[in-house]
Amino acid sequence: MTSDVVENEFEFYSKAEKYWKDVPATVDGMLGGYGHISSIDINSSRKFLQKFLREGPNRTGTTCALDCGAGIGRITKRLLLPLFKTVDMVDVTEDFLTKARSYLGEEGRRVRNYFCCGLQDFSPEPNSYDVIWIQWVIGHLTDNHLSDFLKRCRAGLRPNGIVVIKDNMAQEGVIMDDVDSSVCRDLDVVRKIIRRAGLHLLAEERQENFPDEIYHVYTFAMR
């Protein structure tokens, strides 16, 4: 549990905000120096997501998506805008959202809202999103805040909408990273938090073809 490794909640959040303020507003900055894995990541995410967008009567819609921890809009640009009519972005770092406006180019006109906010304080508008995409950011929330945020995401879904988490998974337990003030949880802990939020797991997949030296990355779809 994060309560075992996060001693001071206020410090946990403020230290992370400070860390990201000093990160370059580039794809490489967003990916901690691993910019070269961006295409592998996006291609896998697209395959994962398209299963829900094209299957049967309970098909997930393509009207609007929300990109959580969006940074400069790497995922918005390459994954979400090609598949959805409109996208909203939320990130705690204002400089990243400012950069996104130029990085996204012409297609950025279909981004409706740029919300500058930490996810612990953010509430998606109820019944608004077909897909809420949460990638490489859950480690910046305590267990309680993550569970509460996922509950708000559940309320933010349109009919047949899904919440997707894609993130690093620890081998065991919860590991603190003092550099960027984040935690990495194991699969069991993440699944428990998902259940606690009242969400039902629809699919789970391990990312392939990432460098051996980084954490295993898993994608979860739920509603």
Q: Which of 84, 90, 76 is nearest to 158 (CA)?
A: 84
| Rounded Cα distance, 27 and 35, in Å | 6
List, as residue ranges, the binding site. Answer: 69, 74, 91-93, 119-120, 135
Q: What is the pLDDT of residue 77?
A: 98
CATH of the domain at 182: 3.40.50.150
List, as residue ranges, the binding site for S-adenosyl-L-methionine. Answer: 69, 74, 91-93, 119-120, 135
**Domain tally, the chain:** 1
CB 186 within 8 A of CB 215: no
* Residue 55 predicted with pLDDT over 80: no
Average pLDDT over every residue of 115-131: 98
This prediction's pTM:
0.97
Q: What is the pLDDT of residue 57?
A: 83
pLDDT digits (tens, 9 = 90+) for 63-117: 999 999 999 999 999 999 999 999 999 999 999 999 999 999 999 999 999 999 9
The parent domain of residue 99 ranges over: 2-222
Rg of the chain (C-alpha set): 16
